[in-house]
Amino acid sequence: MTDTTQSSGAAIKAQDVRGAAYRDIAVHLDGSPEDEVRLAHAETLAAYYAARITGIFTNLLPDPALFAGDFGISAIGQLVDAVTEEGDASEKRLRQRLARLAPTHELRRLDAFPGLLEQAVASEARWNDLFVASCPREDDLARWSPLIESVMFDGGRGLYLLPPKAKTPSPIRTVLIGWTDTRQSARAVAEALPLIAQATQVHIATVREEAHGRMGGAEVLADISAHLDRHGVDATATVLNTDTTPTDALLAEARRISADLIVVGAYGHSRFREWVLGGVTAGLLDSSPVPLFLAH
């Protein structure tokens, strides 16, 4: 039997790597100045992949649980009216902004109470290829963390998350993949493959906290590197030996190679439907200076 591994790999490399592409990109909008940052990145991605943009404008209504009694009912009614009116003004501005987008686009508005809004956004994410949003930090941490977690764990799609006040989008030339031998890492790489394929440099890194496996853990990097090679992606692999946390080790490696994007699996567990992010995921969301690609 003839070994066709090398010939088939060469044929794949000869193909246009943009054959793996995103066709529908959703972008989270909330009426804040960060909308412009998210739209700029979504527009750049959509132009590269000839994708359609759907703006998901979330208008979060006040939590009814914070109000009780007749006075509370009256107060929440007034607040809902005020938030709805503010949402009308934001929607008008967003429609004017989206009208200037070159890619095909649509704006969808979601007015909902906490808990219901997150579910609605996760539902919208499922029929898109990619969900663009911001890393929830500082003032937005309590407001938007539940939404990001809901999309991450229930949306079934990859998230392209931007640090606040992210730089003007530029071509993704260098990608760092933070790899562990887990389902979540496999999902992240599979969902991010169009972005990985467009890069000129791809680095795979794993943080070795203790030796394991026949090669001290390096064998999992050999396998994923070979897998990406068969997709036409030439990647280098590194086992990071460090005394720091995995988060700090990955961020240091990202700085060393001047990464434009970090791809990692998102970790977490459920207790009574309340999602708790894993340490590495939370650390990157809190401090990464470059865009993140997360999938669960």
Q: What is the pLDDT of residue 200?
A: 96
Q: What is the pLDDT of residue 270?
A: 43
Place of tokens 């998210």: 38
Task: Label residues 154-175 b or e (16+ Cβ within 10 Å = b).
Answer: bbbbbbbbbbeebeebeebebb
Q: Is 132 helix (H, G, I), strand (E, B) or coil?
A: strand
- CA dist 224 and 195 (Å) reads 16
Q: How far is CA 126 from CA 25, 98, 142, 159, 243, in A?
A: 11, 22, 24, 11, 39
* pTM recorded for the entire structure: 0.87
- CA dist 164 and 139 (Å) reads 11
Q: How far is CA 35 from CA 29, 152, 263, in A?
A: 5, 20, 23
What domains can be seen in the chain, in order of their start residue?
A: 20-162 (3.40.50.620), 174-295 (3.40.50.620)
pLDDT digits (tens, 9 = 90+) for 64-94: 877 766 666 778 888 999 999 999 999 999 9
| Distance from the Cα of residue 37 to its chain's centroid | 14
**Do residues 172 and 194 touch, judged by C-beta distance below 8 A?**
no
Which class for 136: exposed (0-12), middle (13-18), buried (19 or more C-beta within 10 A)? buried
Q: Is 101 helix (H, G, I), strand (E, B) or coil?
A: coil
CA atoms within 13 A of residue 276's CA, in its CB half-sphere = 5
pLDDT < 70: residue spans in the chain: 1-20, 68-72, 209-218, 268-278
**Do residues 238 and 210 touch, judged by C-beta distance below 8 A?**
no
Q: What is the pLDDT of residue 272?
A: 31
Beta strand pairing call for 268-271 and 274-277: antiparallel
